[in-house]
């Protein structure tokens, strides 16, 4: 879509009322999704992410020739990747910005050396739109990225990073990219964002937003069915504002009668949902063993990994689903004999 077409569309949208303009924008989005492989799919009904996505887009879309890098961090399942996709789509099709290429490297975490080579090749292919010479190792990939991209204005997203080596292999230095380039990093570990220009932490949804997102999946509506209000509120309270949990449980309850809802909720109080637990456990599995010699550092690591929070008054808190995950891990130590477990929390 060239600049002239963009200007025509903008004039058309300005001449319409809000409802008509939104309708046209949805049509444009649908057409772009079908015609342009760079456009990323995002859920049709997004809840609670507009303010943060707007702030990130505003910072990155400001017309400056420096290379700008932002980091998006927060606990697993809170919506970091979704926000990055929304901003990526907006920047790709911002009519006046003119990136020469873009790449969204999805789910980078725990990539081994051979996988990093493939990601380096994907980065070059996405931006150059042509096959590049075969990369034999990560170090050669670093050289090629710098050689091929240092004069190009590009947009790059490195999603779900959990090691500094991954960032070094894919976006090592600002000088690798041309003037005006933009880079977005998403991670669970705030320590990986020391070199970024701005950091944005994604918070859990508030109760009203949580109920709306849950209902989108459980009822295909913005509010619960008449006889399901209390049941819906019970599930929303259990999820604690975590979008992943709201979407997973909402989808699993869609179309089920009240008796089955009650059965699912009762089971959740005893046995956590496996899909949610698997996602949350990633943050814990990548932790180093605590040394106990430096508890202040261990404590800081838990905060940086979004596993605990400390408010201004010094009160420590943990998301209920993370606490539940910890209890399940302890239960696995000795499923049949609670006396052999390292922790006890229930009589």
Same domain, 18 and 139: no
Same domain, 92 and 136: yes
Closest CA relative to residue 244, chosen from 218, 292, 277, 222:
277
For 173, which DSSP code? -
Same domain, 257 and 154: no
In a domain, 87, yes or no: yes
In a domain, 279, yes or no: no
Same domain, 58 and 152: yes
In a domain, 40, yes or no: no
Same domain, 68 and 185: yes
In a domain, 277, yes or no: no
Same domain, 192 and 332: no
Which residues constitute the domain of residue 132? 49-201
Same domain, 16 and 98: no
Each residue's pLDDT expressed in tens, for the chain with a length of 347 residues: 444 455 455 555 555 565 666 666 666 656 654 555 567 888 877 899 999 999 999 999 987 889 999 999 999 999 999 999 999 999 987 655 689 999 999 999 877 767 899 999 999 999 998 877 789 999 999 999 999 999 999 999 999 999 999 999 999 999 999 999 999 999 999 999 999 999 999 999 999 999 999 999 999 999 999 899 999 999 999 999 999 999 999 999 999 999 999 999 998 888 888 888 887 777 677 676 655 667 777 778 888 887 888 888 888 888 888 888 888 878 888 888 888 888 877 66
Same domain, 193 and 213: no
Q: Read off the CATH number of the domain in which 167 is found.
A: 3.40.50.300
Q: Is residue 251 within 8 Å of residue 245, measured between CB atoms? A: no
Number of domains in the chain: 4
Same domain, 86 and 169: yes
Distance separating alpha carbons of residues 267 and 31, to the nearest angstrom: 43
Domain boundary residue, one of 143, 168, 201: 201
């Amino acid at each position: 879509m060239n600049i002239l077409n963009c200007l025509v569309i903008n004039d058309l949208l300005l001449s319409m009322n809000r409802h008509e303009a939104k309708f046209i924008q949805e049509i444009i989005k649908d057409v772009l999704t079908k015609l342009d492989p760079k456009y990323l799919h995002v859920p049709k009904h997004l809840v609670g992410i507009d303010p943060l996505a707007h702030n990130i887009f505003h910072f990155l879309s400001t017309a400056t020739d420096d290379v700008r890098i932002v980091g998006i961090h927060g606990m697993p399942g809170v919506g970091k990747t979704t926000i990055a996709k929304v901003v990526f789509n907006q920047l790709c099709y911002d009519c006046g910005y003119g990136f020469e290429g873009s790449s969204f490297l999805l789910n980078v975490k725990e990539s081994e050396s051979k996988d990093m080579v493939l990601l380096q090749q994907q980065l070059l292919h996405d931006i150059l739109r042509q096959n590049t010479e075969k990369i034999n190792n990560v170090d050669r990939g670093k050289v090629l990225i710098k050689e091929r991209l240092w004069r190009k204005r590009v947009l790059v997203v490195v999603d779900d990073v959990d090691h500094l080596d991954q960032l070094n292999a894919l976006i090592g230095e600002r000088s690798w990219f041309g003037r005006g380039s933009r880079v977005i990093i998403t991670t669970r570990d705030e320590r990986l964002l020391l070199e970024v220009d701005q950091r944005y932490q994604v918070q859990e949804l508030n109760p009203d937003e949580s109920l709306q997102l849950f209902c989108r999946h459980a009822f295909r509506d913005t509010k619960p069915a008449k006889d399901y209000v209390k049941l819906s509120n019970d599930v929303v309270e259990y999820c604690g504002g975590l979008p992943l949990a709201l979407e997973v449980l909402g989808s699993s309850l869609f179309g089920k009668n009240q008796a089955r809802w009650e059965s699912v909720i009762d089971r959740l109080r005893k046995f956590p949902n496996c899909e949610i637990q698997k996602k949350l456990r990633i943050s814990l599995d990548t932790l180093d063993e605590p040394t106990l010699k430096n508890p202040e550092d261990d404590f800081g690591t838990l905060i940086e990994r979004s596993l605990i929070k400390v408010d201004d008054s010094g009160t420590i808190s943990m998301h209920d689903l993370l606490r539940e995950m910890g209890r399940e891990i302890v239960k696995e130590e000795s499923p049949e004999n609670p006396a052999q477990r390292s922790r006890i929390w229930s009589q």
